[in-house]
Structure 1
Amino acid sequence: MNFPLVLLILLVVTGCIWLLDSLFLKHKRAAGATEPWWVEYPKSFFPIILIVFCLRSFLVEPFKIPSGSMIPTLLVGDFILVNKFTYGIRLPVINHKIIEMNQPKRGEVMVFRYPEDPSIDYIKRVIGLPGDTVTYRNKKLSINGVPVERELNGDYKYIESGLAYVYTQRFKELIDDKSYSILINQEMPHMLLSSVHYFPFRENCAFDMKGFTCKVPEGNYFTLGDNRDGSSDSRYWGFVPEKNIVGKAFMVWWNFSDLSRIGLSIN
């Protein structure tokens, strides 16, 4: 369901009824007469819907993490907040940018519309900026020919689909002075070539069994999940167009399974 569109329709309908009553209908009612229900309810809900619409469209939007692709940074069941204006002010529903502000930076956690189905929101970490050459070979990342710093930070295990434990290694990765944790499962293949899609600018990429190299086209970004061997990301479905950007994730505001995560900053 396209929730922003539904919210916009509700806003327009309740707003029109409120305006119609303010300009015409209330002057025709007898003094002391009660408002009909179809006027009373829309008028009551209009200011609430207006506030929610403005907050959600231009300031902050909540999201729920549905998968483990960003473990250990984000866990399944995390409810997060996304800054909607840091990458520019966009018109709701059509997502057209009207005011330029900041551009995404390497290492930031970004929410965007999935290029293959814009009705779905994805969350990944920005790795490559327009013009960058991103290489991931033997499970080691390089940007523009410079290896990304990382250091082993112990083992990490998590439950996958509630059925079995997955044992991985946890690394601290450093991009442009931004540090964050990633997971590497040494038992998984370096690259699942059969899972690579045909996507726009695929000719910018070269794939083999050991990994890939991609040059990010202008107006696009390259993203990876922190759970490197458990993520569907730009390696497989391509680049994120600038027009698909939703905002920057910045805080976990709730998790029913782990209340200690409430208020955690997203690095």
Structure 2
Amino acid sequence: MARGRKARDTIREGSEEEGSKRKRPPPPPRFSGAWFLDWARTLLVAAIIFFVFRSFLLATFVITSGSMEDTLLVGDFLLVNKMSLGSSVPLTDFRVPGYKEPKHGDIIVFRADHSPGLDIVKRTVGLPGDTLWMEDGVLHRNGAALEEPYALRNRRQPDSGDPMMLWQTEYLVEDPAREEYEPTRNNWGPIVIPAERFFMLGDNRDSSFDSRFWGFVERKKMRGTPIFIYYSYDREALRPIRFLTAMRPGRVGPSPD
């Protein structure tokens, strides 16, 4: 009886093994038509996943200028959350909505109008409807001077004007006593921010090319918020192979606000 049961079990196991073998056809020979077709399918799926990931979920960004010092340093590699603010579908006018709207103090990566194809990062200091001005380097919003512990100032650097800043004239608060508007880097406004536009400044105020010079940022041009510094090195270090020898492991972690 036991021998019969063992024989049945052996037959059943053999049948299962044969079935599994029948279900797994051998891989196609290398460099055959079927082999190339399998690789094409794999690469297509990988490309679609990469496209979705880069277009709608996450992106990478490298800090190449000192305009956001000391919050973000040259040589910081950032992971950017594109889901937070929403993202545009390539080659269409459709935009996938995000789960938040920009608020005061947010650091945001956006597409620059003054340099097509370039993404830059700045801090949001003005929202639609805000009235902004700067007096002796102190930023005022809606009648109140702001405390900005993140802002870096060089008091020894003289103030200066720039013809590019005259774009602000169109958005000035009317002042009958004003004869001529001559904005400078540290003294300008007051201006009112229109709908769907945002005013962005670099934290390194005396070394930042920002909204003071080239204007507002459209909401649809915002690409995401930095969430993590995944690598950092000192690009100005006097060392060989700086990418490896001048690493800053202490900066790896959540992106500072």
Taking structure 1 as the reference length, the TM-score comes to 0.70
Identify, as 1 or 2, the structure richer in strand.
Answer: 1
Give the direction of change, closer, same or farther, for the CA distance of 1:133–1:59 in structure 2 (3 Å limit): same
Structure 1 ranges of 4+ moved more than 6 A: none
Give me the CA root mean square deviation.
2.4
Match of 1:211 in 2: 187
1:94 and 1:65 mapped to 2: Cα distance?
29
Note if 1:196 corresponds to 2:186.
no
Residues 134-185 of structure 1 show CA distances to partners (whole Å, capped at 9, x for unaligned) of: 11110101101111024xxxxxxxxxxxxxxxxxxxxx1xxxxxxxx22101
Match of 2:111 in 1: 113
Match of 1:225 in 2: 202
Give the direction of change, closer, same or farther, for the CA distance of 1:260–1:131 in structure 2 (3 Å limit): same
Who wins on radius of gyration, i.e. which is larger?
A: 2
Match of 1:245 in 2: 222
Partner SS state of residue 51, structure 1:
helix
Match of 1:127 in 2: 125
1:60 and 1:32 mapped to 2: Cα distance?
36
Cα distance, 1:50 vs structure 2: 1.8
Cα distance, 1:233 vs structure 2: 0.2
Would you say the 8 A contact 2:60–2:78 is kept in 1?
yes
Match of 1:26 in 2: none
Identify, as 1 or 2, the structure richer in helix.
Answer: 2
Residues 195-233 of structure 1 show CA distances to partners (whole Å, capped at 9, x for unaligned) of: 52565x651145434511121111100000000101000
Alignment gaps of 5+ in structure 2: 1-26, 173-180, 234-246
Match of 1:185 in 2: 154
2:80 and 2:254 mapped to 1: Cα distance?
13
Partner SS state of residue 152, structure 2:
strand
How many pairs does the alignment contain?
206
2:80 and 2:256 mapped to 1: Cα distance?
10
Percent of aligned pairs with the same residue? 34
Match of 2:63 in 1: 65
Counterparts of 1:1-267 in structure 2 under 5 Å? 34-35=32-33, 39-92=37-90, 96-99=94-97, 101-150=99-148, 172=149, 181-190=150-159, 192-194=160-162, 196=164, 199=167, 202-205=169-172, 207-209=182-184, 210-213=186-189, 214-256=191-233, 257-267=247-257
Give the direction of change, closer, same or farther, for the CA distance of 1:197–1:115 in structure 2 (3 Å limit): farther
Would you say the 8 A contact 2:84–2:98 is kept in 1?
no
Alignment gaps of 5+ in structure 1: 1-30, 151-171, 173-180
Would you say the 8 A contact 1:108–1:126 is kept in 2?
yes
Cα distance, 1:40 vs structure 2: 4.8
2:169 and 2:33 mapped to 1: Cα distance?
60
Deviation larger for 101-110 or 38-47: 38-47
Match of 1:15 in 2: none
